Amino acid sequence: MTRKNYMLFLLLIILLNFEITIDITEAREQMYILKLNYNNGTLSLMDLDVGYGYVRDLNPITQPGTGYKCEVISLTDDVLYSFRFVIPNTVSSPPPLPDQEPTGEIYLDNVNFTLLIPYYSDGKLINIYDPEDVLLFSTDISKFADQELSVTEPRYQNYLSYFIVLILVVLAIFIVYRLCRKYIIKIKGFLPR
């Protein structure tokens, strides 16, 4: 591989790497991270934060028919998002030995788990209900309202990535132009006049 081809190959790899990084960053979305504790039938809030990641799409077909319910309430008291969930407190038992009976599932009395909920810039409350739709607790999320850019500001990182890609493309064009000009001058020296 000649030096020119090697340079072009490296430049192409760098450009593709930046494009993949930009696509991955744009696919992430802002979300509420709700950390809960289930202890002997009591559900309690441990922590609430806002971060970036991937929120699973909970359509009515994939949601459990019964179980606890989570709602995001807007500043105008509208329900922005609602879904049902079950407490992840069951664990499959290990396979039995050849001379033993299977024991079934193991139920845990105390378990910590996390709910990932889509972010809403006009969110006011997150309500958690028990399986009978009795309100267990509400947590205030209005402190996170309209902070879409202030958590980690990924949009500015995207603009920076686009700028870096633009600079690399201009640099690649310049390098290719210089290399081609250099080789054209050498070729012209060998041609008869």
Say how far apart CA 126 and CA 82 lie, in whole Å. 10
Q: What is the mean pLDDT of the chain?
A: 78
Instruction: Provide the residue count of the chain.
Output: 193
pLDDT, greater one: 181 or 100: 100
| Locus of tokens 């889509």 | 118
Q: What is the pLDDT of residue 152?
A: 44
Mean pLDDT of all residues in 82-87: 90
pLDDT, greater one: 91 or 59: 91
Q: Which two tokens stand for residue 9?
A: 């190959």
29 alpha-carbon distance from chain centroid: 5
Rg of the chain over Cα atoms, rounded to whole angstroms, equals 28
Percent of the chain at pLDDT above 90? Answer: 27
Q: Which two tokens stand for residue 136?
A: 């267990």
Kind plus residue range of the DSSP H or E element containing 167: helix 154-190
Q: What is the pLDDT of residue 150?
A: 41
Mean pLDDT of all residues in 110-135: 92
Packing angle, helices 154-190 and 3-27, rounded to 10: 160
Say how far apart CA 78 and CA 72 lie, in whole Å. 8
3-state SS class at 99: coil
Q: Which two tokens stand for residue 34?
A: 């709700």
> Distance between terminal CA atoms of the chain?
32
The pTM of this model reads 0.59
Of the ranges 5-9, 51-55, 123-127, which one carries the lowest mean pLDDT score? 5-9
- Domain spans of the chain, in order of start: 3-25+153-190
**Has residue 107 got a pLDDT over 80?**
yes
Mean pLDDT of all residues in 87-107: 84
At 112, the amino acid letter reads N
